[in-house]
Structure 1
Amino acid sequence: MRLTCEVIKASALSDLDLGLWRAMCQATDLFRSPLLSPEWTQAVASVRDDVHVAVFRRMGKVIGFLPHHRRPHRFARPAGAPFADYSALITFPNPGIDGRQALKMAGIDRFQAIGLVDPHNVFGESGGEADTAYGIDLSFDETTNNVTRKHRKNINRHRRNMIEMHGDVGFILTDRDRSHYDQMMRLKREQIERNGLHDFLAPPWATDLFERLYNAPETGLHGSLLTMTIGGTPVMFHYGLRLRDRMHPWVSSYDPTFGVFSPGSIFLTDCQAVLKENGVSYYDLSTGQSHYKDSFSNTAYDVRHTRIYGASSSARFGAGLANVAIRVQGAMGGRVADAVTRLNRRFDQIACLELDFVSRARGVAYAFAAAPRRLRTSQGAD
């Protein structure tokens, strides 16, 4: 049965294509993230001109979609990277398609997958780094989590002390107060600066994307701000995507004045009621900080961060060189290999965000200059 591939701009997707894509996401629970929706791909395409979709057809019938940033030298990243915490070849179950062959047909030699979701095993053994994605499933009458009894007692104590000193805890969803949005951004950028990280909120396309999503109608994909207040004063924020009953926060920031009360723990414990009241059935905490997220989640699944090579001869050659580099890195020893891995991740994030040579060079220079601050942070000094 003949398989074909057409690579098109996201804006060229037909209504039929969009409907099929949405149906594929609804048919497989792991595809229901807003980040895997066609709405997300089109939102990114509104601020960047390198967003494409590989549309795969068998005998003329669409069987899959691969949204991506099409970069030079047959290289691709997930649409919206690095904000795209998940990536996937979107299909119905049992698609009968080989992922690497699909990349070849799409003219992609290397696909830098972030949080690869592959429930239908189209990519098989993809290598790379295993990770866990966490979430809070709010579809139950009573939501449980993994917070220990001792931890819960500490959270309750902090909450009581905070209320006694500053007033009651409250939540706002979706918070449309522009001053709260600006405060959330300011606090996050101050934290980024303190920790010596690359400012992922600064690139013009990222700023534009966040603004457009914040101003988008709540009837579709939009930026949703969840604010925790203490005595009416906003002190902690989660901002990210919402599409229908799914919410995926990206930015978490808080007023450090309240840090002594562990506001993050209070936030994740107390926010569930307002989420449910506002029709959210799944609050996606994504990957990273597993020691923290594991406590407050009640569901988790495996993903991978990996570079997938296509089936072309040039891709196989690239995969061979990459395997040599991995072996050399492994021979360096654990600590050196870990340092190289962290450095590669940092450079890749800069490449995701900065779209021209000058901006990337500045980002790399800053990464080296800010290394002492990052080291102090990792050692608990900040």
Structure 2
Amino acid sequence: MDVTVCRPGELTAAERAVWTSLQAKAHLNGAPQLGNPFLAPEFALAVGRCRGDVRIAVARGADGEPAAFFPYQRTAFGVGRAIGLGLSDCQGVVHRPGFAFEAGELLRACGLSVWEFDHLAADQPGFGGSATASFASPVIDLEGGFEEYASRLRARSASFYRTTRYKDRKLGRRVGEVRYVHDERDPAMLRVLMAWKSAQYRRTGRSDRFAKRWIVHLLHQLFHTRSDSFAGRLSVLYAGSAPVAAHFGLRSERVHTCWFPAYDPQFAQYSPGLVMHLRMAEAAAAEGVHQLDLGRGEKAYKESLKTGDLTVHEGWASRAHPVALGHRARRAPLRALRNTVQTTPALYRPADRLLRGVGALRAGRAGEREERRRGHTDHTDDSGAGPARAPEAERPDTSRGDRG
């Protein structure tokens, strides 16, 4: 196998065109998951602009033409990770029909002892035997259009569909006319979404992904990335002039990924996230998208919205190497424990309550620190001589809160 390795920016225009063409034809070649936008060259380029460890292996066939593309991240010690591991919802090698590769040979060509993945696409015969676990990844099928999807949804759960549509109308009556923007181009709304999501992470005791600067930079990179075959897509649900829910995901020719959804908690009674997802499905179907990929994870809203499931895999491809053995020995117990908790309701529910309790405690402490900071700022000047009052022009407007 003839393999060359390069940085994302070193790909030629011809190579990128071949990569895009392979994705566009993937559904015709019996490997539809390869059309996912997380496997697109644009995603690899965006991650590469935010991180210095991204590489792309280009494998050529007997005719000398590019036959497969393998994006990954690599440490100095030869430990490989799927590109965007922990963020990306589809990983693997994008290849032309009939292209066969052996995992060990590919890793050797890339200088890797091990390659870790958590959302490996099903269309990856070269990594057979590398998976340690498989998971359902719910999707919404829009190939027949939105009305066909809505009919299937009503047939399965008429009360869910009816209630969500009722809350859509109720939001309009109580707050303001509901307006959905499928492709919002205001970058300020991207910042609002990230602020909502960060607050959600903290509130539920999860790690805040947007505390990492490279991830914030990545979303801004993707927000400004647009072509006929790929786009970062920000969608926003408004009630009157107020944004109440938003989502940022990626779109390829046939697939729209549901990646970062969030909403303003003060509108929670209207289920704005569900309202937004139904409107997003309708708009995506209208522009020719065939599938909304909701991503791996057992969430009630995904179960309510989905029409089926894909399969994604987690595990390691490795060579006989001490670094590979050490990496797996360190990572395997943590992954096994996490998966056991997440897939066992009797364990997940108390763990989730514990995390939420930690989040509430963290939020309370943050609030106390903010109150102390404000008290010091508002009641004493720098000399400690007494109350300090901001000039009228500099005093903050407290008549309305900033929902971001």
- TM-score tier by shorter-chain length is 0.7 to 0.9
Alpha-carbon distance in 2 for matches of 1:201, 1:4: 39
Q: Distance in 2 between matches of 1:286 and 1:371?
A: 19
Alignment of 1:124-273 (within 5 A): 124-141=128-145, 142-144=147-149, 145-146=152-153, 147-217=156-226, 219=228, 221-273=230-282
Deviates more, 1:57-66 or 1:10-19: 57-66
Rounded Cα–Cα distance in structure 2 between residues aligned with 1:207 and 1:319:
28
Q: Where do 1:270-285 residues align within 5 Å?
A: 270-285=279-294
**Whole-Å separation in 1 of the counterparts to 2:341 and 2:47:** 27
User: Is the contact made by 1:69 and 1:79 (CA closer than 8 Å) also made in structure 2?
Assistant: yes
- Alignment correspondent of 1:363: none
Give the drift of 1:233.
Answer: 2.4
> Is the contact made by 2:251 and 2:257 (CA closer than 8 Å) also made in structure 1?
yes
The 8 Å contact of residues 174 and 225 in structure 1, kept in 2 or not, is answered as yes
Q: Which amino acid aligns with 2:20?
A: R
Q: How many positions carry a matched residue from both structures?
A: 342
Q: Deviations over 1:148-185 (max 9, x none)?
A: 12322332443343333223332102112333222212
**Pairwise CA RMSD:** 3.2
**Residues 55-84 of structure 1, C-alpha deviation per residue, up to 9 Å, x if partnerless?**
223444433221011113211112233322
The amino acid that maps onto 2:2 is T
| Identical amino acids, percent of aligned pairs | 23
Out of 5, 11, 14, the residue aligned to residue 12 of structure 2 is 14
- What CA distance in whole angstroms lies between the structure 1 residues aligned with 2:23 and 2:266? 42
Residue aligning to 2:126: 122
Q: Contact 1:85 / 1:286 at 8 angstroms: preserved in 2? A: yes
Q: Given the two structures, how large is their TM-score scaled by the length of structure 1?
A: 0.78
Q: Which amino acid aligns with 1:226?
A: S
Distance 1:113 1:148, change over 3 A: same
Query: Does the aligned pair in 1 maintain the 2:135–2:313 contact within 8 Å?
Result: yes
Residue 129 of structure 1, CA deviation: 2.5
Structure (1 or 2) with the larger CA radius of gyration: 2
Classify the secondary structure of the residue corresponding to 2:258: strand
Alignment gaps of 5+ in structure 1: 331-336, 344-369
Note the 1:1-382 alignment, pairs <5 A: 3-28=1-26, 29-59=32-62, 60-141=64-145, 142-144=147-149, 145-146=152-153, 147-217=156-226, 219=228, 221-310=230-319, 312-314=320-322, 317=325, 321=329, 338=337, 374-376=355-357
Taking the aligned partners of 2:327 and 2:337, their CA distance within structure 1 comes to 21
- Structure 1 range deviating more: 59-68 or 211-220: 211-220
Change (3 A) 1:377 1:292: farther
**Residue pair 1:128, 1:305 contacting (<8 A) in 2 also:** yes
Q: Check 1:55–1:215 CA distance in 2 against 1; reply closer, same or farther (3 A cut).
A: closer
CA distance in 1, matches of 2:329, 2:355: 31
CA contact (8 A) 1:173 1:278 kept: no
Matches of 1:89 and 1:278, distance apart in 2: 27
Distance 1:86 1:263 in 2: 27
Post-superposition offset of 1:52? 0.5
Q: Partner of 1:88: helix, strand, or coil?
A: coil
The CA distance in 2 between the partners of 1:313 and 1:176, in whole Å, is 48
Distance 1:289 1:219, change over 3 A: same
Contact 1:184-1:237 within 8 A present in 2 as well? yes
CA contact (8 A) 1:137 1:143 kept: no
Taking a change above 3 Å as real, the CA distance of residues 90 and 372 of structure 1, as seen in their structure-2 partners, is same
* Structure 1 range deviating more: 31-40 or 226-235: 226-235
* Runs of at least 5 residues in structure 2 that lack an aligned partner in the other structure: 27-31, 343-350, 364-404
Instruction: State the one-letter code of the partner of 2:357.
Output: R
